[in-house]
Amino acid sequence: MQSLMSDNLNIYDFENYSLKTLTINSKALSKNPWKDSSVRRNPVLVPDVITKKTPFVFVLSGFSSNGSKKFAWKSFGENTVQELMSLVSEGQAPNAIYIYVDAYTYWGGSQFINSEGMGHYEDYMLELYYAARKEFSAACGSCAVVGGSSGGYGALHLGSKYPELFQYIGAIAPDSNFDIALLPDIYMADTYYRSKGLKGLMDERKQGKFFKRKSSHHIINALAMGLCYCSNGKKDIEWPVSKNGDVDKKIWNQWKKHDPLNFLSKRKLKLKETKGIYLTVGNKDEFNLHFGSRKISELLKENKIKHEYSEFNGGHFDLGRRQPDMWAWLERKL
């Protein structure tokens, strides 16, 4: 554990909190396929006073973001971390240990799962969990895992698989319902992937060309998700669409095994062990994630799994607006 040094450290001089870095030399990531560093530096907000009841909150970032990015200076207002600290001081967010997870990859994200195509980031999350518990052993409170978009996906995955570790789940517009949310990006990426492949994209990135494409986000998202969900184990992807645009059902079903609509339905008993689930989404989500969230809520209702579900008037780029409501929910729970 070390202090997180920054030229702008003074803006993080929070009342009753200090900013630390929990560094993990991850065994799980030591042989990841893209040579991403196995040394991970996770910013941690630590209360000055820790008691046995002090809870832990693991904050997962969305695709193309990372834990440390949440601390970036924001003009004309508070960034998300400063906003959180203001809410804590007002009693509108829990007085907890907040771990902002470093799980970035060459391709922009890991989905916080184990994948031969991207790396064993689920195992890394377990390493981080136990390291945090050991480092702050005075705190014996419950634990929450929260996030938006891909971070929301990770929260659903980890919380539903390990409810004995992560008792509370907070998911804002989580990736879900792949037929509607992910398949459109796969079609947008199809021509590029067939003509250039992963190597072509890597070359264009080195040359500074790739992100000048208007469709760059859709392409890299589709390829990254392919590496997470359906890699052939050879640093490549089992592509689910034919040249004629037909979906190969066998391959696509391999991708869809990782869809929350599928894995949550298989973890109903585990979900009943959780102490609280928060789910929210914008009713105009640009990636169609409102359709998946509605189905997740229906699945939870059908199986009598208590959760709080809401929709707000907005889209995917308004997710930050929902964080105060999620923090308030977590304060009530914890």
- Tell me, yes or no, whether 157 and 187 share the same domain: no
Nearest to 222 by CA among 66, 65, 109: 109
Q: How far is the CA of 209 from the CAs of 145, 198, 204, in angstroms?
A: 36, 14, 5
- Tell me, yes or no, whether 291 and 170 share the same domain: yes
Helix (H, G, I), strand (E, B) or coil at 2: strand
Residue whose entry in the numeric block shows the structure tokens 């400063």:
82
Mean pLDDT for 307-321 is 91
- Tell me, yes or no, whether 158 and 144 share the same domain: yes
- Per-residue DSSP letters for 45-85? EEESS--TT--EEEEE--TT--GGGGGS--TTS--HHHHHH
Residue 95, domain CATH: 3.40.50.1820
120 - beta bridge partners?
A: 114
Residues 6+ apart with CB under 8 A from 197: 236
Decide if 236 contacts 230 (C-beta within 8 A).
no
Mean pLDDT for 202-226 is 96
CB-CB neighbours of 55 under 10 Å: 20
- Tell me, yes or no, whether 167 and 47 share the same domain: yes
- Tell me, yes or no, whether 39 and 163 share the same domain: yes
- Tell me, yes or no, whether 183 and 322 share the same domain: no
Two structure tokens written together for 158: 């980890």
- Tell me, yes or no, whether 251 and 285 share the same domain: no
Decide if 200 contacts 189 (C-beta within 8 A).
no
Mean pLDDT for 257-285 is 97
Model pLDDT for residues 173-200, shown as the tens digit of each residue: 999 999 999 999 999 999 999 999 999 9
pLDDT at 8 (0 to 100): 36
- State which residues form the domain around 283: 2-177+260-333
- Tell me, yes or no, whether 43 and 107 share the same domain: yes
- Tell me, yes or no, whether 137 and 93 share the same domain: yes
Give the residue from 256, 271, 291 where a domain finishes.
256
- Tell me, yes or no, whether 138 and 286 share the same domain: yes
- Tell me how far apart the alpha carbons of residues 212 and 196 are, in angstroms, rounded to a whole number: 16
| Residues of the chain above pLDDT 70, percent | 96
- Per-residue DSSP letters for 196-247? HHHHHHHHHHHTT-GGGSTTHHHHHHHHHHHHHH-B-SSSSB---B-TTS-B
Q: Give the strand pairing for 308-312 and 56-60.
A: unpaired
| Number of domain units in the chain | 2
- Tell me, yes or no, whether 35 and 96 share the same domain: yes
Residues in the chain: 334
Measured over all CA atoms, what is the biggest interatomic distance in the chain, rounded to whole angstroms? Answer: 62
Give the residue from 225, 256, 287 where a domain finishes.
256
Q: Using pLDDT thresholds of 50, 70 and 90, give the confidence band for residue 14.
A: confident
Model pLDDT for residues 37-87, shown as the tens digit of each residue: 999 999 999 999 999 999 999 999 999 999 999 999 888 889 999 999 999
